Amino acid sequence: MTIQDRKQRENEARRRAILSASRLIAETEGWNALTTRRLAHEIEYSQPVIYAHFDGRDAIIEAIALEGFDELATVLSSARLTTADPRQALLALASAYSDFADRSPALYEAMFVARSTLSFANAATPDVMRAAFQEIVSAVRPFAAGRPPGVLAEVVWAALHGVCTLKRGSRLGPEPQSQRLEIIVGLVAG
Amino acid sequence: MTIQDRKQRENEARRRAILSASRLIAETEGWNALTTRRLAHEIEYSQPVIYAHFDGRDAIIEAIALEGFDELATVLSSARLTTADPRQALLALASAYSDFADRSPALYEAMFVARSTLSFANAATPDVMRAAFQEIVSAVRPFAAGRPPGVLAEVVWAALHGVCTLKRGSRLGPEPQSQRLEIIVGLVAG
DNA sequence: TCGAATTTCTAGCAACGATAGATTATCGTG
DNA sequence: CACGATAATCTATCGTTGCTAGAAATTCGA
């Protein structure tokens, strides 16, 4: 089976190469710069090889988004657990979310802006996506006060998503983002 | 000058035809369906005529976005003024915003999601865009309580923007949107 | 009514995502 | 080692996109 193994290893390595090259291109030059020709040149294979690994350009973006959910869940979790104080924990989570969006805007776009066949908020939702959302739920639960924690978490998430995307699109004023995050936390945590 | 006048009238009519045809296509089939060939066929002229009116496809989208800001400002203003109670006024504004995004998702996308050369929140910001934002500022001002009303308005706007875009992308749960709007208003208006 | 100016169209470019079919490399077997 | 079969990879191409140059047609003023 060693030959099969080697082929499988090579296949997986190439799949990873496609994903990391795509991510690098998207993060440095935007998703529009990710063309199949450019990508093929970058991984030093011809275009059809890409289609042996992914159904098409959109499938690559979705695979990258899935990577992102895993990373975001980790980031949010460690931020939330830096303190036992619920209010400070919520602020830490909000800052971590905003930093994540700032540091990897293309990744963030793939996860939360791009049209996608990934299913959110239902039975078919992948575990990594659930995990990321559950971090927000955990952070807001102490402040639920009768409100459904899941819906409150959606609202807080929406506020964070809004300030991140609007800021990214130069649609907000010059005030530092931290000011907006503190207002969000203040509204929730009283 | 009647010949000049007629030409100008025809020019303006054709410009309007381009915009309304584009908007219809985008609203019924999405922005991807707006191709210059399709648009040319729709307005019954050849492609180059489009470029006599707009610098390109993106310029059309921006012109449509500008129309949208005017419409949104009107919608928000009349919603806000349906009641003298600040809390009810804020809820009415939030509902009106959400309804606007629901009813014209393509228009909304052009205004708040698409990359754009329109400048937000600075000296060069067009009046219609200022007016729409000022409606939100007016609605939240009664609840500012020491916070800068402009930044608070940005946060409320971001929350509304977030719930609208995330819902549009099927990223939120099955609960009715009104539940989220009430939570947002509750957070701001105590 | 006719030459000049303007308007409009036809035809085409380069780049895109994607794929069919030829070509090369690799495999197990005698 | 050699060879036929299989698998992997590439070249070349398709249809579509935004956009534009240059030809053709129309409209204008004299």
Spell out the domains of chain B, with CATH numbers in brackets: 1-54 (1.10.10.60), 65-189 (1.10.357.10)
Chain B contacts in chain A segment 97-156 (CB below 8 A): 112-113, 115-116, 119-122, 147-148, 150-152, 154-155
Read off the pLDDT of residues A163-189 as tens digits, 9 standing for 90 and up.
Answer: 999 999 999 999 999 999 999 999 999
At position B169, the amino acid (one-letter code) is: G
**Residue A1 banded pLDDT, cuts 50, 70, 90:** low
CA B174 to chain centre: 25
Mean pLDDT across chain B: 96
Q: How many C-beta atoms surround the C-beta of residue A149 within 10 A?
A: 17
Q: How far, in Å, is the CA of A41 from the C1' of nucleotide D10?
A: 13
pLDDT at B4: 74
- Which residues in chain A touch residue B113, judged by CB atoms under 8 angstroms apart? 113, 165, 169
What's the rounded Cα separation, in Å, for the pair B90 and A171? 22
A48 CB-to-strand D distance under 7 Å: yes
- The answer to whether the complex's ipTM is over 0.85 is yes
Write the CA distances from B46 to A182, B36, B116, integer angstroms.
53, 9, 26
Q: How many C-beta atoms surround the C-beta of residue A169 within 10 A?
A: 15
The CA R_g of chain A, rounded to the nearest whole Å, is 19
B1 CB-to-strand D distance under 7 Å: no
Instruction: Tell me which H or E stretch contains A21.
Output: helix A2-29
Taking every pair of Cα atoms in chain B, the longest distance, rounded to a whole number of angstroms, is 62
Structural tokens at position B166? 């995330």
Instruction: Inform me whether the pLDDT recorded for B173 exceeds 80.
Output: yes
Instruction: Inform me whether the pLDDT recorded for B27 exceeds 90.
Output: yes
Q: Say what angle helices A127-140 and A149-168 make with each other, to 10 degrees.
A: 100
Instruction: Inform me whether the pLDDT recorded for A92 exceeds 80.
Output: yes
- Which residues in chain B touch residue A165, judged by CB atoms under 8 angstroms apart? 113, 161-162, 165
What's the rounded Cα separation, in Å, for the pair A79 and A88? 10
What's the rounded Cα separation, in Å, for the pair B165 and A89? 26
Read off the pLDDT of residues B72-102 as tens digits, 9 standing for 90 and up.
Answer: 999 999 999 999 999 999 999 999 999 999 9
* Contact A178/B at CB under 8 A: no
